[in-house]
Structure 1
């Protein structure tokens, strides 16, 4: 019952909020004997929406709902038709309009203000979608009879799979810009997206290779 006691019985669900901010003394007094869910309730908007403008939170909320709808529809075999690709493209375009704004009376929100759950779904969706074609090429490369190509593919897969994703994201966000020429900058979101694509492709390549090997 230790987990139940920590997560529910001894947990703090809310704390008083004054002009000076949330009073977290009760959470500190727990000293690890209970969860402080008050942090989640207090910061839930930041967790879900990041630094996106407060009055525009409905826009990323709608985007999250659209993503979930796409996932549900795509999981149903009866919708596996060419039209589904058009639905994806149209919905992704709508998500882009909602997130950026600047049209249809929506205020413009720079990409630097994006965050929270919606950015996770964006990175995950594009990461898996773009990693799959790369994984097929890598899987075929690992089965190639050309030593140079096979060696390169093996090194790529083993190197990427041996590094945690958080390390790749750190290198893409912090370390990589240090090696760029002065004045040159690559969008931070794009760097993170490329890191996720490379990471996912290495794992998917092994899945594809195993499938090809079983034929």
Structure 2
């Protein structure tokens, strides 16, 4: 059987097929391809034309951006100046105002670690060492109490730095825990399988807010007097 050589030049000159539908054909095929889809498209378009222009007027053109929040109460649009005035509180929470540079530096360290971790070419031993060093540095910056840094109680942590820290630790622990539970659910050992299924169904079937309320009420009852959960 003869082998036909591949003409690479001819392959390069092949053009993609031309779509003859056009914009009208696309609308007909995707938005008006039947009575139900046509009615649904018209309802959505009516809703957009009725509510979107007034919302844009309220949110942008009639909004108050940088005026005093007390003055902007009289305007007809959104009062974004409240957001700008409280931006530091939104980002840093109750962390002491005069040392906001510390949680900001901690966030920058975390962003750098995430940036280099997203690039495969940086997956070396140096990056593996950088993560524990960076996390310790973040903890020192947030907590203080050493190296001449004023101590800050963790109850004053909040805003974006705390959200990022909880997200990183939560995601880091969730992946291996999920794999262990998945293996435990298909285990041939009845006790391990039962415990894994019970945990999975409990966490998946109960709203998170309910679990948080239950833990805040029930767990302290089993702790010695004077010991609290942060």
Q: Shorter-chain TM-score: which interval?
A: 0.7 to 0.9
CA distance in 1, matches of 2:128, 2:149: 27
Change (3 A) 1:154 1:7: farther
- Kept in 1: contact 2:91–2:159 (CA 8 A): yes
Match of 2:21 in 1: none
CA distance in 2, matches of 1:24, 1:178: 47
Q: Determine if contact 1:177/1:185 at 8 Å carries over to the other structure.
A: no
Asked if residue 36 in structure 1 is aligned to residue 79 in structure 2, the reply is yes
2:229 aligns with 187
Asked if residue 90 in structure 1 is aligned to residue 137 in structure 2, the reply is no
Where in structure 1 are there 5+ consecutive unaligned residues? 17-21, 189-215
Counterparts of 1:181 and 1:106, CA distance in 2: 32
TM-score normalised by L of structure 1: 0.72
**TM-score (structure 2 length as normaliser):** 0.68
- Indicate the structure whose relative CO is greater, using CA pairs within 8 Å and at least 6 residues apart: 1
For the aligned residue pairs, the C-alpha RMSD in angstroms reads 2.3
Structure 2 gaps, min length 5 = 1-51
Alignment of 1:42-121 (within 5 A): 42-121=85-164
Deviations 1:141-168 (A, max 9, x none): 1111233322322222222123343443
| Per-residue Cα deviation, 1:114-147 (whole angstroms, up to 9, x for no partner) | 1111001111111111222222210101111233
Paired residues of 2:64 and 2:72 also in contact (CA < 8 A): no
C-alpha contact 1:51 1:114 (8 A) present in aligned 2? yes
Asked if the contact 2:185/2:193 (under 8 Å) is kept, the reply is yes
**SS in structure 2 at match of 1:87:** helix
1:11 pairs, out of 38, 63, 68, with: 63
Deviates more, 1:144-153 or 1:163-172: 163-172
